[in-house]
Structure 1
Amino acid sequence: MKPSIRSIGTVVAMSGVIVALATGVLEKFSEEFDVDVSLDTYGTNEEMLAKIQAGASGYDVVFPSVHMHDIMQQLGLLAKTGIGSHPDFKNIDPQFVRSQKDPNAEYCLPYAWGSVGIVYNRKKAEGIESWADFFALAEKGEKIIMLDDLRETLGVGLIMNGHSVNSRDEAEVSQAADYIVERLGNISAFTYDSIPLVQSGDVAAAHWYVGANIFAQEMPDVLKYIIPKEGATMYQEDMCVLASAPNKENAIRFMEFYLRPEIAALNVSQQLNGTPNRPALDLIPKGIRENESIYPPQDVMDKLEIFEDLGQDLKL
């Protein structure tokens, strides 16, 4: 039987699915190493964790956000791979080794990053620049959508009140929740399945991921993605091998394969997200590299905050 690996990565439900890996990357690995690669998807980190903890078997590689990487490592769900000691790990920008539990990248590989901002229909909402503009649209009678994600949605309330999205302060968290609750009547839905509605104009704007640029690239006169000027959240996904992986050797080989700049650049070209692989930046098409909603300038980067594992304080 031909060797294989099975991976599970993030997906946002919509027409034209975005998954954690570009098909071109999977095809190149499969061809070079004669390994079949299959990819399943999940909507949220919590859904993925529940699936693994419920006994889903046969998976080798997983793509958690950094805070979920920490949680899964603490739960003993991840295998030590030694990827941080690989000679090509020098390609990885050290600022993206963010895991609190894996500071030397002994387990996981920093894989991709991006912002979570606003995608809007240019015929309905041209010129919006901020979260304030986003909520003002609803007050004018336009429809808006927010993500069906606990921390992303509460994060907007925290940002708008000048707090960290990782706040553990009960008063700050309550204030952020109140900010969203006060606007519930103007929020048409909490969902990931927003892009078709914004494309059609049924919804003016949606709280969404940088991957919206894929659709904006196809319909530049209709769609635009922005990072709100008040600030936004930033996600980072890491590539990890499960402790229960039946094909650990191939899984680690895949991580090493992804350290190649040309492979990381190929993934970015199809996914339109950021890469921690520094040499890959020179191989990315200029139109992507110079798109400030994908690779924002430092003053904007300074306003992007990544989620941390809050432990028991998540109950807040």
Structure 2
Amino acid sequence: MATSVIRFQLKAGATSIPTGASPQWGVLFDRRIAVLPVQATTTGEFVRQGLAQARAATRAQATLSLDDVKLLSPVTTNQQFVCQGVNYESHVRESGLDPKNFPFNTIFTKASSCITGPTDDVIRPRHVHLLDYEVELGLVLSEDLTQAREVRADRLHEVIAGLTIVNDVSARDVQLPQGQFYKGKSYRTFGPVGPTLLLLEPHEWALWPSLRMKLTVNGGERQNDLCGSMLFKPHQTLTELSAMQDLHAGDLIATGTPAGCAARSPGKLPMFMARHFISDATKWKFFVRKGMKDPLFLQPNDVMELSIRTDDGRLDLGVQRNKVVSA
């Protein structure tokens, strides 16, 4: 049975743990927490030291109320934050692109300092007007990969500790006109993660394609798709990345988003006109000007809710809820 691990800070006034204690790790049983004795300041330390303790926790040990804690990201900001782009055919097409032109795995990174908690506010910088969302399945590594390794689809449990929810928040008016994914996606708070790190048992990894991602804004559904729709699967991505760079226990890989983002292609005719008859600078001025009138882009006080679970509830990564605020 999958284990729901959380990282948390005691709220002021709660008495179960001494006030001012460092962030703790625990296992969630409904709305009660079994506090783990592991002393891990980073996600890497936790997955190296605490997985057995987490799996051994019992409901009888869950004595702390969820109401008494503030949930933190289960991925700490010292870890690498690697991302896949255009990894769902539906998102490729809504971006005005042809999937046949993307026979490669698109990889980029976000600054790990953008990682924030599953209920923290997302801060929109003053100069950003086209703020977008992307629900994604996050993979958290269980061990170091410091040389090329072929990861098999049926052996994911050997290299991945668990799964979490990621919101790849993006400033499209920075990312697209400037052609800078890192810059447009790395502002502080642009990476909500959690609430849980779901530890799967070896036989449960076969269920990951049936995980359903959903994202709503102010209660209205924007994104809904199965993780199995991704173009490059986790074993393929881990194999490719291990041949290219060092990865470490606790590092986070966000696996891409499906259709439903605010930013999307204006259509074939406008794309043709923009490509052949106007300059890039003018094209992006039109893009930003039109986007500022589009209600789909996030505004201050908008609330995003993200969930990832199987339809039968066997695997459930919880619900992430973040409010957008102005800088």
TM-score bucket (shorter structure): under 0.3
Higher relative contact order (CA 8 A, sep 6+): 1
Give the helix-richer structure, 1 or 2. Answer: 1
Give the strand-richer structure, 1 or 2. Answer: 2
